[in-house]
Structure 1
Amino acid sequence: MEQHNFVYVTFILSTPEKVWNAITDPEITSKYWSDPLSKNPAHTNVSEWKLGSEWKHVKMDESKTVDIVGKVLEIDPPNKLVISWSRPKDKDDESKHSRVTFEISNYANGLVRLTVTHLDLDPQMFNGISSGWPSVLSNLKTYLETGKHLAGHIA
C-alpha cells in the first residue's frame, strides 16, 4: 500500500511554552480541536505525555468515543513531540501506525514556528488529515492569538 506524508507550517504570535501547552493540555485541546465547518463534537487529547505513554484522541460528547490512539515516541518540552497515530482497531499492528512530529521554535518578533509533519499515512487517513490538520492548526493559531476559536465564524 502506498504511503503518504503531510507537512504543515504555521506561525503563531505566542510563546513555545503556550503552543506546547495547547498541544498537550486536554482542557485547551478541547477548545480548538474541532472542525469549524462541521457539527461534529470537539475532541481532546489525553495522555500523561511521558516517553512511552499512551495518548488518546477522545470525542467531547456523551459517547467519549476514542477515534485515534498512539504512544509518545519522543518528548522534549517545549520544542518537540513525536507520537504514533493509529485507528483503535490497528493499535496492536505497528505496520499500520503513522507518525506525527510537532516541532516548536521561536521564529522572530514574538512569533513561534509550528511545524507538524505526519508520515506514513495510508490513502484513507491521508485524505482525512489533509483537511483535518489545516483546520485544527488554523483553529489553534486563532485560539492562541485571540482566545476564540473558529467554530461558527466560517459560513
Structure 2
Amino acid sequence: MTYLPTARDALSQALTDPKFTRKYWFGCWQACVWAKSDPWKPMFPDGRVANGEVLEIDPPNRLALKWRNKFRPELRDEGFSHATFERDPSGDAAKLAVIHEIDRPNSKFIAFVSNGWPAILCSLKSLLQTAPQYCDPTLPTDPASRSLPSGQQQCDVAVGLLQCMRIGAK
C-alpha cells in the first residue's frame, strides 16, 4: 500500500492509460479495452507480450487482473496469478493497495513480482510528484508549484513499500 499525490479518478487513469503507463512502468504499456473478461496484454519494449484477462473493473475503486509469466518456464508453470489494485480516497491523495496472489504455496512467481511492484509504484509516485499534469488536468502545471519541499524524497524506499504490500499465496 502507498499513498499517491493524486485524485482516485486520476489514479485509475494512470493505471490504465497506455501512454501514461509507459512513463512509470519502465516502457511497458497495456493493450486492453478495459471491460470485464476482455484480454489484458502487457506489452514490453523489447517486443514481448504477456497474456491476461480483466477479472473486474470498477473505476475508480478497483481493478482485478489475471496473468501469467510466459517468458520464464519456472514461472509459467505456476499458472495464472491475480493482481488487484484497490484505490481509496485519503484527503488530497489516493491510497493504492496492490494485492498479487497465486494459488500456490512458496510461489517463485510471487517472489519475482515482489521485487517488481515496489519499483513500479516508486516510479509512479515519483512521476505524480514531479509531473502531476500527466495524470490530473486539474492540478497546476507551473513547474514552481510542482516542486517538492527541500529534502523530501521522491518516493518511498522500495523495501518499505514491499513490507506494506499484501503479497502472497491465496
TM range (shorter): 0.7 to 0.9
**Equivalent residue runs for 1:1-155 within 5 Å:** 9-34=1-26, 42-61=27-46, 64-66=47-49, 68-88=50-70, 96-108=79-91, 110-120=92-102, 123-147=107-131
- Aligned pairs, number: 128
In the alignment, the residues of structure 2 paired with residue 121 and residue 136 of structure 1 have an alpha-carbon distance, to the nearest angstrom, of 23
Task: Give the structure with the larger strand fraction.
Answer: 1
Q: What is residue 5 of structure 1 aligned with on the other side?
A: none
Percent identity (aligned): 32
Greater Cα radius of gyration, structure 1 or 2: 2
In the alignment, the residues of structure 2 paired with residue 77 and residue 26 of structure 1 have an alpha-carbon distance, to the nearest angstrom, of 16
**CA positional deviation for 1:127:** 2.3
**CA positional deviation for 1:60:** 2.2
**TM-score normalised by structure 2 residue count:** 0.68
Q: What do you get for the CA RMSD once the two structures are aligned?
A: 2.4
Point out which structure has higher relative CO (alpha carbons under 8 A, 6+ apart). Answer: 1
In structure 1, runs of 5+ residues without a counterpart are 1-8, 35-41, 151-155
**CA positional deviation for 1:88:** 3.7
In the alignment, the residues of structure 2 paired with residue 30 and residue 111 of structure 1 have an alpha-carbon distance, to the nearest angstrom, of 22
Letter in 2 for 1:140: L
In the alignment, the residues of structure 1 paired with residue 124 and residue 21 of structure 2 have an alpha-carbon distance, to the nearest angstrom, of 8
**TM-score normalised by structure 1 residue count:** 0.75
Does the 8 Å CA contact 2:100/2:110 hold for their aligned counterparts? no
**CA positional deviation for 1:132:** 0.3
Runs of 4+ in 1 over 2 A off after TM superposition: 87-90, 121-124
Note closer, same or farther for the CA distance 1:121–1:145 as it changes in structure 2 (3 Å cut).
farther
Q: What is residue 38 of structure 1 aligned with on the other side?
A: none
